[in-house]
Amino acid sequence: MRIVLVTGMSGSGKSVAIRLLEDAGYYCIDNLPSRFLGDVCRFLETTGHDDVALSVDSRSETSLGDVPAIIAALRAAGHDVRVLFLTASDAALVQRFSETRRRHPMSLRGRTQAAESTLLEAIALERELLAPLVSVSHLIDTSELHPNTLRQWVRQFTDVPPADLVLAFESFAFKQGVPVAADFVFDVRNLPNPHYDPLLRPLTGRDAPVVAYLQQVPQAGQMLDDIADFLKKWLPSYVADNRHYLTVAIGCTGGRHRSVYIVEELARRFALSRPVIVRHRAIESAA
């Protein structure tokens, strides 16, 4: 198995790392007591899991000293074990806990009643408890790190490939309302409407006569190119933001001709480079 052990200071970004690995297909267990680390890995091996991510933190307390030996045993058994230790400065951790107003896991062991000193004592205690793991880990200091940068560094450390952003193209009728889940909405009601041709009215934007009609309209080709160019320009920034889905809604009056044609053409273009989903609200709801 490939085993990624995520540990480190509370507030340093462990949840960001675990969520990224979970999205990448890892079987994840958060806040696992370290004494069960070896047993859980052996059990998961028997159940056929190849990629496993486990989070161990300071709440394991006295058993943390046993973790280096457990890691050595797992590696000796042939597993690829990578240990990631996330840390941050005291000032950064104090600021993060102050902003979230969450209780530090070690705060109940504090020795004073003053809020700031209790938080600092909790941080100091946690550093002391986690000390046995530092020497066997890859350290990342997240003090001044943006979450997206942390995700990129975790990907590099674990060899997780960049996520495939799925593009969902969806046609709809403005008279039925704009889809609330759309990330982008484009209005193509300015294009000539095949609805007014009696022969084309019963058809849809997927039918050859409607396709041929709209292909002869210069504005339709320009609109299609402009939308495609816009998406090509901005898609990389959404991938960098760790987005997994992006919904592009194309609307016309009835949702049967122009919007369907544009969606089908966009899907055909982008399917060459990434996963694509196609939905036609007006057509499919009437079926």
Mean of pLDDT over the chain: 90
Is pTM beyond 0.75? Reply is no
Asked if 225 and 120 sit in the same domain, the reply is: no
Asked if 84 and 226 sit in the same domain, the reply is: no
Cα–Cα distance between 252 and 80 in angstroms, integer? Answer: 53
Total number of domains constituting the chain:
2
The secondary structure of residue 197, as a DSSP letter, is: S
Q: What is the pLDDT of residue 239?
A: 84
Q: Compute the C-alpha angle 185/277/248, nearest 5°.
A: 10
Q: What is the pLDDT of residue 240?
A: 79
Which residues, 6 or more positions from 184, have their beta carbon under 8 angstroms from its beta carbon? 231, 246, 247, 248, 249
Last residue of a domain, one of 158, 174, 192: 158
Asked if 263 and 220 sit in the same domain, the reply is: yes
Last residue of a domain, one of 140, 158, 176: 158
Q: What is the pLDDT of residue 109?
A: 64
Asked if 260 and 135 sit in the same domain, the reply is: no
Last residue of a domain, one of 105, 125, 158: 158
Q: Compute the C-alpha angle 13/16/21, nearest 5°.
A: 130
Asked if 75 and 178 sit in the same domain, the reply is: no
Asked if 129 and 180 sit in the same domain, the reply is: no
8 Å CB contact between 147 and 19: no
Asked if 281 and 170 sit in the same domain, the reply is: yes
Asked if 141 and 236 sit in the same domain, the reply is: no
CA trace torsion 207, 213, 216, 221 (10° rounding): -50
Domain that holds residue 209: 166-286
Tens-digit pLDDT profile for residues 53-84 = 999 988 776 678 889 999 999 999 999 999 99
Asked if 49 and 126 sit in the same domain, the reply is: yes
Asked if 229 and 174 sit in the same domain, the reply is: yes
Asked if 225 and 149 sit in the same domain, the reply is: no
**pLDDT class of 117 with cuts at 50, 70, 90:** low
**pLDDT class of 284 with cuts at 50, 70, 90:** confident
DSSP notation for 89-109: -HHHHHHHHHHHTPPPTTGGG
Query: What CATH number has the domain bearing residue 15?
Result: 3.40.50.300
Tens-digit pLDDT profile for residues 134-170 = 989 999 999 999 988 899 899 999 988 777 789 999 9
* DSSP H or E segment with residue 239: helix 218-240
Asked if 149 and 7 sit in the same domain, the reply is: yes
Tens-digit pLDDT profile for residues 199-249 = 999 999 999 999 999 999 999 999 999 999 999 999 998 887 778 899 999
